[in-house]
Structure 1
Amino acid sequence: MEIIVIIVVFLLLYIPCQMVKNAKIFDQIDELKARIDDLEAQLNIVKNADFAPHSIAENAREKYGEVVSSPMESEISSLVHSEPSNKSQNETPPTSQSAVKISGVSEPVSNPVKEEIREDSPWVKSEVKISEVSKPTLNHAERQVIHEEKTEDILPKEEKSNPILAWLLKGNPIVKVGAVILFLGLSFLLRLASEYISFSIENRYASVAVIGVISTVLGWRLRYRRYDYALILQGLGIGILYLTSLSALKFHQLLPASVVFSTQVLLVITMVGLALLQNSRLLAQVALLGGLASPVLVSDGSGNYLVLFCYLALLNTGVAFVAWFKAWRSLNLISFVGSTALILGWGWKYYTPELYLICQLFLVYYIVLYTFIVCRFAILQTQSQEGFSAESDDNATLKQLWLTWLSGMRRVGSLDGSLLFGSALTAFGMQYSLVETFPQSLMYSAFAFALFYTVCGVVMTKRSALGVVAQGMYLLGLVFFTLGLGNIFNETLNRFFLLGIEGTLLYVFGVKQKMPFVRLNGVALSLTALLCQLFYAPFDAVISSALLLQGLVIPLMWAHHRKLHSALWETRGVMGITGLLLYGVVWYFAQLYAHGYLSYQSVVIFIVVLALLGAFWQWRKSNLLLTFWVSMSFLFPFFIHLFGGQMENSPRLFESDFAQFVVLLAFRFDWLFKISIGEFYQWLDTLPLWLNGVLAISAFIVGWLVSNPKTSVLRIHNLGGWANLIYSGITLWFLLDDYLDLYSSVRGAVNILIIFGVGILLTPWLRWKQLAQTQVAFLPIFACYSLLLFLEGINRHLLEYFFILLIATILHIATMPNWKTTLKAKLQKVWHVGGLNFFILAWSVYFVEWVDSMDYTLSKTWFETSKVVVPLIVDFALLKLRPTLQKWGMEKVYLKQGVILSIIFLFIAFLVGLGESGDPSPWRYIPVLNPLEFCSLGILVLLWLWHKSVSQEKIKTEFFLIIGAAGWLLLNVMLMRLWYFYGDIPWNLDAMLRSFGLQASLSILWTLCAITLMVKGNRLAYRKSWLIGAGLISLVVVKLFTVELSNSGGIARIVSFIVVGGLLLAVGYFAPLPAKNQNEK
């Protein structure tokens, strides 16, 4: 056993050293090639440049120091201004013979572009002399990064993709999944072999460790040919060694805990070294995860806090060391999340007040460390950026403010907000847990945090690279300072008052300093304070008055300083504050009346005066909020009269009945009808005569002031025509009602058809405008009456209702020509769309009732399927009539707006149908040739035809994906129905999941679809098809873990994992993710 341990340790020490040695040799060779490519790239730049040769020399000196001498400038000049000689196409450029003596080159810049060089150029005859390299050699990954940075000003910049999505899709994800599955398969194989094969436990572990070493070495050897593939193999190999040492401790106690812990730390260091050598963030992340998991995996449960804190301090210091050189945000976040989880887990189980000092010191280290990491990340992200300014125009719109704020995040996020705010809030939570037993601990802790972050913000403001971080520090300081102040005051209303004062001060400061961000925060805080007062805070005469008065400061400041040049967001925000103040004033006077501070007459006078002031302010303007308030203000005294006595027991607005009027009046007009007219008249009788006069005159003045002269009203000469027309219609209704011998429900529908039918026939002859206008009312009146018929039931009058619905459809079509002269363009669209959807609904209800009444031996499937028949027929008919609709100019109205509701209904019905068994009794189930699946396929065909004809180009791909996903679901359900009808499997999810035959069939179906998509995507270089196939492969992998994995100890599980893992590795190697096509969107 000791010999095996020595061998493993020797391999762990020897292999990294040998890899480093080989890396240096390969790096030196690549360095020479890179420098030759660099010279060729400079020659190409010189030949293609449009600027003087001396500028080239200056640029070269800026990049490489004093590399090009004055004689070299003349050579460059002669090269630029000379004519290229005619050369044979088979002749290669003599780049191997051309070189310049380089003495100070620190960073090579390679360029794959190679062009011919003149034979008579003096550079061709120069010798290759590379005397020195000032900096250590660079490996392939680092040289590629430097190449991208140096050629940033030469090559066109590509649009940056989502960094999170890019990280998930980078490299070869199929190989990653295959490696994990193959690893599990080998583990299952070893476990099975241990039960049937006599093989010592030490040899088993040694065999697995050898596999890990081989995988790591193989990955190192492939790092230049298949970079991503090599990194995965290295991570797999070290992961095998890591878990092997852990298993040797946990399951068989072959190694002591100290040796295992040291081995794991050594493996973590090795992986970090490999990550730095190859510039691989992935390896560093895996190494950090392993380092964070080691204390948990190797722990003996003693809860030794000193060892844990020291280990975490060293580990996080190493992360900070890496953060000094690398802007690897994900590594910082992993360190933060993992360390926080370990600390919280230990504290929840082992913390006692006696450990306060050591925990407090570690918490200080915790805050300072992650604040340093955030700052260093920002510096690294902004070193290559110049000319950045976070300032915005004083009158910037909300969109401009948002874009200005995002500009600070655009450089791969110069502010790591998740780490900054996450560490601050998490540390404050842990701080409160440490000191919660001390008096006023929350206040002092909040002030301490506010001081720390404010000081950090002041220090960081002096450096431009940390400008965005400084803003975050100031924001955290303000948050903690507000939290500390709020803890001083215990009453809820006092806290809202402080919040309102803070918002007012911020707005005033933003106005004086011309800072729109500050004004935006001030408006938001003031709105929050007012809303909290109205909906949450109890009534207090003094505090409520002060809060309303301080809320008035923002509208006054805006009117005096910002009214003429204010942005839309600021105007809307100030108007919102004004509206809340007006409603708050009404609520405030209602409370004064309820508590006996003011008489009822005084309350009415105050409201009237406020209404007059608001109306004069609103005169000839279009502020809907203020207009609505002053228009409804004369109802406020009435409701105060009704509910004022109840408000004393419900001091909060949202608890009182008065809130139903003040807050929900704009949404609940039906609530007004609950109050009888008699109560309103009784209220008027209780008022004094002079008060009635004041209300009348004031209401008249307010109505005149808030009226809009642009609003059209009915002319007086049209009223007579309307009166006679309405009278004639009512008379005809009663005449038909007495004459026709029909059922009452049917008779009402016939009356409507006859009245409007006569009007439609007479309109072209009489040319009566009001008569033509009444035809517009046919659709809503018939729709409302049909709704009553639907509720009553039409199954007893199917024949009568068929003719009623048929005639109504004809009349509806006949009224359409009158809409052009009686309705505006927007209302015409509403009537077209509404009529189409109503008659689809009406005919659908009729058809469902007809199917239900035909034969009671039909299964439920027939009844459910009948609901989609009419929408399918109508939508297909409209698509067929598309040329006619184009001729009438109605294509957009009907095909893009009219059918959208039926399309949504059909798609929902399709999704609902996926959960049905589809029993076609009395027919026998045949795939596709049954009502449910036939209609489902019809819905998919309709969706495809509809989107092909009307969808915009930018959404066609997404819609195709939706249709493809729906078709894939339908294939799965059809397969499940086959097993249900012919495999005797009950139609429920549990039974389906327990059927290994069905699961195997689904896996085969998914795999066939996935392989087809992935091979197609790789052959056609179409990434989306490949990614969809990868998604299906992911589902197959999930099934392996949820279904096959449950078959514990079975050969099928082992074969499934090994075969699937091997296939994924093979597919990832021979058919990897294709390169991104620029034309692919």
Structure 2
Amino acid sequence: MGVAFALNSDAFGFSAIPAYGLIGALLGLLVARLARNQKADAAAMDGGSSLSERVLRLERLVGRLQAEMATRQAGSATTPAGQPGPSLPEHDQRAVPAAATPTPAPLLAEQGVATPRDRSAAAPPPHVLPDPLERGLRAARAWLLGGNTMARVGIVVLFFGVAFLLKYAADNDLLPIELRLTGVAMTAIALLGLGWRLRERRHAYGLALQGGGVGMLYLTIFASTRLYGLLPVGLALPLMIAICVLGAVLAVRQDAATLAFMGSAGGFLAPLLLSSGGGSHIALFGYYALLNAGILAMAWFKAWRPLNLLGFSCTFGIGAVWGASAYQSTLFASTEFFLLLFFLMYVGIAVCYAIRRDLSLTHHVDGTLVFGTPLLAFLLQAGLVRGKPFALAYSALTLAAFYLALATWLRRRHPRLSLLCDAILALALIFLSLAVPLAFTSLATSAVWALEGAGLVWIGVRQRRLPTLILGLLLQAGSAFAFAVDIGATDHDHVAPPMLALNSHYLGILMISLAALFSGWRLHGKAEARDWLGWLPDIGLGLFVWGMLWWSLGGFDEIRRYFDLRGSFHGLAHNDALGICALFGVLTAGLARIARRGLDWLLMRWPALALPPLLALIGFSASLFYAPLSQVVALPVALALSWLLLYRERDDFGPDLLDPSHALSFWTLCVLLSVEGWRRLGDWVPEGAWQWSAWAYGYGLALLLLAGPGARLAWPVQRHRRAYLLWGGGPLAALLWGWSVASVFSDGGAAPLFYLPLFNPLDVAQLLAALAVAVWLRRLRIDNLFFDGVGAGILPAVAGATGFVWLNVALLRTLHHWTDVPYTLHALGASTLVQASVSVFWTACALTIMVVSTRRGNRVPWLIGAGLLGITVIKLFLFDLSFLSGISRIVAFIGVGLLLLLTGYVSPLPPRKLETSASAP
């Protein structure tokens, strides 16, 4: 049937069924199987129900066993001597004890009721169910060999023979039609009567005859109405109802599943054997509705699974074959009615089976009927409503509502059928999920699936149901996939959103993110998940990262799309997108902090630590094109709020985590201040060295304020001294030194002001940088953060060399501005005035160093000054004597000579410090 259905699916319109339907159904089947296994494990661990329930089950089981024993004794009494009795199926042979009188303990053990001795003994090995093919072969062998085999085979052969006889007689006009039908009917009645008389002596044989008689009566009435038109429909209908009721009563009265199966099988085969390829589908499906009504009536009293599966297979199989070959859109109304009728019938049969099987400890739910009925019905419905907009979506929504109501009713009326309730509830959720993609776009589908998945994760954790939890995670993954499919199918980068954030694109991202974060909180932030399964917190951590990625990247992409496609936002310039990104980052960190407080979820503290790197990146991007503090208005606000968040987190993190964030925030502020000054001074005073000096003004003021009054702040500087004074101030000092060295190449122009040595923008910036570094080094010594060793000895040498270079450059700039000497290396080297001035200046510097060293008794600096004097003298005789002439040479030699005489008088060489003098008594 399945192969035929698959081959004819296109003809019936099944190609229009979305892939979601099959995927959802398969997921539902997977959930049911997992739930069934979990239920079986739980039942095995519970060890049974309460004492009163066990007693009730025991009484019912004893009554059933007594009836079966009486039936078997009656059957064996009619077996001729010397012949073996009817062979029992394998499970029956195992169930019959060897002793003549069964003892209670083995009986209870065989029926699944635990005894005290069983509970104290070791648990038996788990029973492994055979595969479906093996189970089918066993069932066929049990039917063929269980009882009177010859009678069963004979009645089947007889049924086919009568059907062929009727068809042959009709084709060749051998006898009057009334006589033929009357003969068949009398034969059927005779079989029924004979079977009823033999029910006590030859039970199995009598049941076979009765089943054949019921099937032949179905065959007769159907042929009289369908083939020959001898019986009107108004008369044939009550006759079929009467036969259906008769067969059901006989089967239930004699507890004979075989009779019910054979009678129903004959009824289902009758239209196929008598069919001529034409006729009304209403007559066919109406006839099958009567047969299924009989099966439903028997299911109300008996849990006969083979009979249920027979009716299910024949009804939907034959219906699918008819639909694939003969359905037309004009037949929708009548066909839809019968499809709904059959669906409701087999849902009722599945529920009745579960209620009847409640006496047993296993196999409460017939998975084939519970999941196969909606699957096949939905597939057939897809073929019926092909080409009708939203019809399949409404069908899925109706199925979801139906199964939800059924699950609610079962949970109230039959609370012990928890497994069936869970399976039906899973079907409701699956069809609800399928209704969304059938009705809406992929974006809406992703949003609904994400929220539904989060709800299933919550239910799965609360009820400790792993299949429900897995289904929730799969739905969230499916929501992301549906969103990606929609993005790939549509060109969102070229479609401007109507409003920022208030559009379906971003709302879909938001739903996926919130669903993942909620699921992560349930699995990682709550103790109930950790107490249930130890690996669930790891899944929760992954969901947290997944949700934050969707939140942050989706938000930034939404801002990018809006500004890239529109260019402005209510009058704001395009560059303000960076500011909005910064505010979005602050909003994210703030909401995460609120969520951490409200949900007691420690993972939500990390967005606050991720904010400083984000603002640093945004600030760097803004600095490349704009004045970051004035043209990106929201950026300074975001920085202030970032420090406020760090203040709020001061007691929640250790210094190892907070110190890098504080240092990075301080660097970002310093860079933004310097870039702002550089751009603004360049706009206001494009001439001179004003713009170049802005770097030192920004960095120098920041370092001076940090090491000066800022160092006395209890928060944040004193609380994070190493972060601000060492990690924050160290790079600033290095930048200032690098800027000072690079300033050698600037002429230090002060236009539009007059150039004054040491009072021009560049020299003032140099002095500010030197002062800031000196105050910073002093602060490091006070706070015991200054490093000792080789580095401490290098710093004075570096500072002295840098100061000497700066003073020389200041002299050269002065000569450039006052004497119009070009500020180039070649021009300065060729100028006699510059050379003479340099020689005199070096001598003066050496004199100063030596005088100060003599007064302080420092021999090493005095030697450095003396070395500088030596270099000056060598320069006089090797360079100045050759290239200088006139007044320049006279001034150079006289000036240097006088300074050397003065040095020898006021600054003699300091005495060497004897090591022994310190140890002398």
Larger Rg: 2
The TM-score with structure 1 as length reference comes to 0.33
